[in-house]
A and B are shown apart, each in its own frame.
Chain A
Amino acid sequence: MIKYISKRIMFMVFVFFIMSLVMFFLYNLIPGDPARAELEPIKNTLTLEEYQRRYESLRAQMGLDDPTIVKYGKWIGGVLQGDLGNSIRYKKPVIDLVKEPMKNTIFINIFAMMLALGITIPLGIICAVKRNSLFDNSVQVGTIVGYSLPPFIIALISIFLFAVTLGWFPVSGMNTPNFKGTGLAFFVDRMYHLALPLFVMTLSSLGGMTRYVRAAMIESLRMDYIRTARAKGLREKVVIYSHAWRNALLPVITLIIGWFINIFAGSLVVEEMFSLNGMGSFYMDALRNQDYNIALAVQMFYMIVALVGNLVIDLSYGLVDPRVRVNR
């Protein structure tokens, strides 16, 4: 087991370096001269020679004349020490800027995930147990509709219905402007603003998850041990929730962890639409303003989350189902 994990971690590190190299080279393809941009505001106060001298020293200082591989070495060295570089737009270290959005994203996603799981797991189980009934068929059609509609359409419709027409919820934002309350009042205000985004995120993840839970449950209900359990005369509830559900848990765990990975990437659209200050809109702002140090840092963060998530999925197989031997 330890051998397997260390092998996987080695692989992860390898992939991370390859990807960071690729991303860094891509980023360096963009034309632009940060040194010139830095000097632009004070250009008029300097003489030509002075400007030229300062420009050259700045270029040397920023390492702009180095070959890309040297630049990459410097950058990755900084990253490994927790220095993600500075934002061009805010003139601040990326690491300080990223904290607040990350907190918000995690906050929102944990709520959305709890809501979604709370609905989909019971729904999937009921559908699997009563499969091919009218209820199941209508849920099936509903889930196809659910996962076929992109989140932004669901968001547009719900903004139109609940925010603009009915006026129940605010259209965007995370808090009432100039909100001064603390503690519970602050929390209530935030939840009031987050209600609509949470609704959209939950709704857009219902379809796929319900189908997944249902499929896993049907698979395990078809097994021989279920027939055995029924033949023994166990109550149906025990058969379903103790015997079948436990065995259906394996793919569901994959789903939950997979979803956890997508937490950071998947809420891009919703954060953007409701102008929430999360990782998604932070990332998109950086891309739009060509603040590539931030974009690169966030991208690397997404990569790490995905790689770690994949490892955790594989390891969780072994924990949930001892029959699965991961160290093939």
Chain B
Amino acid sequence: MNAVVGRGKCAKAAVGASKMVQAAEHKGCRTSSNSGQASCGSRAGQADLPTEIWEKVKSHPCYSEEAHHHYARMHVAVAPACNIQCNYCNRKYDCANESRPGVVSEKLTPEQAVKKALAVAATIPQMTVLGIAGPGDPLANPEKTFKTFELVAKAAPDIKLCLSTNGLSLPDYVDVIAKSKVDHVTITINMIDPEIGAKIYPWIFFNHRRYTGLDAARVLADRQLLGLEMLSERGILCKVNSVMIPHINDGHLVEVNKAVKSRGAFLHNIMPLISAPEYGTVFGLNGQRGPTAQELKALQDACEGEMNMMRHCRQCRADAVGLLGEDRSAEFTTDRVMKMDVKYDLEMRKAYQDRVEDERAAKAAASKEELGELAGAASEISLLVAVATKGSGLINEHFGHAREFQVYELSTSGTKFVGHRRVDVYCQGGDGEKDRLSTIIRGINDCHAVFVAKIGGSPKSNLIKAGIEPVDQYAHELFEKSVISWFRSYLDRVKSGEIQHVKRGDASIRQKAVISAA
């Protein structure tokens, strides 16, 4: 801390962070205290949230797990500069077909970003959120970032604005953020202990100099937590992203969870490290592995009692466009956008979004009904299932076409969304179906069943051999309702002795970037 004392007002603000901790200790998500469950978290619905919070999150795909099946987001890459270096990031690498944070194919000026936003809004009426997430840090590019927000708010007032930052400059811009009508801010916080931070961040650039080691991590952690407190005080919804890095911060993230919860964070998103040597990151090159599916789930479960967890993050590009599971950025390159004759039609967008709301209401009612029938059953069994979907809450994807599977945990208390598993990684190469199948099986190996619209004979028998039941009789039906119905029959089959319930093993999470929509 001594290293920064006296270096202007920013440094003093950093020192002040620890004093504010106590004041903020009892704030936080006001809806979660009474039930003991994650009541306002990523899964929360209208009934669980205060009206003003529900209005903010109901159509934000990142802040509401339910909304992400229906609403799309776009990131505009207007912020290329960064002020810190992370060991999981290498800004030099870019590929148009690749999806991971920090990557873009072309950077935009604020004027180009607005044109693009209007083009996307006209083409994808369910696009409700525009975020600035880099590829650097939005607050290391304040002029471009806030100019973009100003222009978008003027041109398309119904689009929600959000930004994602590393938090280093956040305390300096909280008031500007509040004035810019930014509803949601995501801060990436990977540690609160500088000893751990020093293993993740080689340096930061702050107050006109470069800090390294413990000094860097200390300043960063103080600034992040101070920024979070300041946003909470102003009623801006905050999500905290944390990258889970086995043997570095995995155990520590429970502490981070408590710290951010006490400072009013709305949602905590623990993401697996993406680490492959070819991206040239420090972690990739030194063999640092990412977590397995069950390691990630265990940590998310451990934090859930403390706070609301986001489990549907796709770790998308800084210029992603579309629903969270898809990326349509290739349709909206600057060349194409500049040639488009864009007509922003607020009425059309509103009519479309009203239809989406009707669809959501119908889906929620159907799941509730099926859940009611499950209530009579009593069983200790809890298991995971995978669902292939293209969206709208339906089992509507062919097994062989699925780029990812949604994973749900089933028990007699209902369904719980656990996460998604990407299965379309590069490494399949040209070796065809057999490799692809084994990639999928590795990705959903902890599941008892996989729900698909259709599946071929060969993958079907291979899945059964691997101990995963392929289920295609609920094709094109609502998946929450379907998995509960299947689970009821599963429990019946176990009860009658027809099948035996056995525990599944672990599954792997992609270590490589995923390819974009074909």
Say if A and B assemble together.
no
Chain A contacts to B: CB under 8 angstroms: none
